[in-house]
Amino acid sequence: MPSENETVKSLFQQEYARMVAVISKLFGLEYIEMAEDIVSDTFVLALKHWEKSGLPPNPQAWLYTVAKRETLRLLERNKVLNKKIIPQLKQKEKMTSGDDGPDFSARNIRDSQLQMLFAVCDPAIAAEAQIGLALRILCGFGIDEIADAFLTNRETVNKRLFRAKEKLRAENVKMELPPPDEIEARLDSVLHVIYLLFNEGYYSKTQNQLLRKDLCLDAIRLAAMLTDYNRTNLPKTNALLALMCFHSSRFAARQDSNNEFILFADQDPTRWDADLIRDGFKYLNRSARGTEISSYHLEAKIAGLHCIREDTREKWEDILNTYDQLLLINYSPAVTLNRTYALYKARGRQVALDAAEKLPFGNNHFYHILLGELYQTIDNEKAIASLERAYDLANSQVEKQILQLKIYHLR
């Protein structure tokens, strides 16, 4: 039975983003800090009240009721709000004198979150700041968690978020969907932010863990929300959702009972989530309805092939060919290294090693992990040296432990 503290933490992760989006829509993005303060105060009150009186029958409804009350109290006592916001709200017919505050209906929560998603990903906001805002406002991450994700400190994160919010005000960014003729171009930025959020969860850069399931699930939730609207339910949206479903299907297989990380080659396929794999192929089929082939389509196809348990040369040739297509439209060191591993599985260790030794990624620890794999059975000393170099370059303590174990088994 979870404690009140654990319940509040779980509810915070679920409800913070929804409540901030609804109240920000009511006030306008220029007052987003007020929305965050109201929601934070609501959770502080919840923790104090529930520690004394126990959990209410419907904690979510309790939070919404208190947030409404706190919003109305703020409106009543704040002269700036009385002079500026309330007349604007009445003029827009968002609130009347008899209204009971923010509308926490399911439909308005959904609409507000979608509008907040596009606001956070406005092109006026720097890409790195978009990720920070998304982690804070769309996923309910604390400042310390964001600092961990960026391998930085609280002060830097606070300054970055402050500048991003100032930019929202300066550019007069509204919480509304873009016009129909702009939405597809704007959707690219939104999907990219969701993709980065998922990647941060799936391969976390925090010091004590490699997998943040909560962040992965938040990214899936945001992408699924986009498929609920015709204007954003495009093939590339479904392709990204397919990709994330395929990767998420292996959550249970990526860690053992001691939360130790398990590499793909060592995973137990019986622990893969069959329902998520089916969802992945469902969304992948939907993504094929258009004529565009995005990087999400190709990555989803590769991830889907990885979900086929049979480890055949034909499968790896298909993966290799798909990586070749992906490199043409989205070159990156990660894609190149993954393509080299597929080359190894499809055509042998020596062929892949010849290709890998020509790559210019000497300061990339993944490159040295790959070399460590390829040198095995060919030159054990070079395999160990490569893994030791990877250990020196790795940031995560969890990953360093994995590399130490691999080195130990090679000695």
Residues 299 and 337 in one domain: no
* Structure confidence at residue 319 (pLDDT): 97
> 210 to each of 50, 77, 170, 274, how far by Cα in Å?
33, 46, 37, 23
Residues 295 and 358 in one domain: no
* Structure confidence at residue 194 (pLDDT): 93
Residues 291 and 336 in one domain: no
Residues 278 and 341 in one domain: no
Q: Is residue 254 part of a domain?
A: yes
Domain boundary among 245, 278, 309: 309
Could you tell me the CATH number of the domain that includes residue 365? Answer: 1.25.40.10
167's CB contacts (< 8 A; 6+ apart) are 124, 125, 126, 129, 173
Q: Is residue 257 part of a domain?
A: yes
Residues 338 and 296 in one domain: no
Q: Is residue 247 part of a domain?
A: yes
β-partners of residue 374 are: none
Residues 337 and 404 in one domain: yes
Q: Count structural domains, the chain.
A: 2
Give the residue carrying structure tokens 């893969």: 272
In this prediction the pTM is 0.84
Q: Is residue 357 part of a domain?
A: yes
* Structure confidence at residue 311 (pLDDT): 87
Residues 303 and 336 in one domain: no
Q: Is residue 20 part of a domain?
A: no
Task: Answer whether 264's CB lies under 8 Å from 306's CB.
Answer: yes
DSSP state of 210: S
pLDDT, tens digit only, all 411 positions of the chain: 455 566 677 778 778 889 999 999 888 888 899 899 999 999 888 888 888 888 889 999 999 999 998 888 877 776 555 565 555 555 554 444 445 578 899 889 989 999 999 999 988 888 878 888 888 888 887 788 777 766 678 888 888 888 889 888 888 888 888 888 889 889 999 999 899 889 888 876 554 555 578 788 889 999 999 999 999 999 999 999 999 999 999 988 887 666 666 767 778 888 899 999 999 999 999 999 988 899 999 999 999 999 998 889 999 999 999 999 999 999 999 999 999 999 999 999 999 999 999 999 999 999 999 999 999 999 999 999 999 999 999 877 778 888 998 999 898
Residues 296 and 252 in one domain: yes
DSSP state of 125: S
Kindly report the length of the chain: 411
Residues 353 and 401 in one domain: yes
Tokens of 312: 């055949």
Angle, alpha carbons 77-60-209 (nearest 5°): 105
Q: Is residue 386 part of a domain?
A: yes
Task: Return d(Cα 389, Cα 379) in angstroms, integer.
Answer: 16
Tokens of 325: 């297509």
Q: Is residue 271 part of a domain?
A: yes
Q: Is residue 406 part of a domain?
A: yes
Task: Return d(Cα 198, Cα 192) in angstroms, integer.
Answer: 10
> 169 to each of 79, 122, 178, 203, how far by Cα in Å?
20, 12, 17, 33
* Structure confidence at residue 4 (pLDDT): 58
Residue type, 266: D
Q: Tell me the residue range of the domain where 288 lies.
A: 234-309
Residues 357 and 302 in one domain: no
Residues 300 and 338 in one domain: no
DSSP state of 261: B
Cα 364 from chain centroid (whole Å): 23
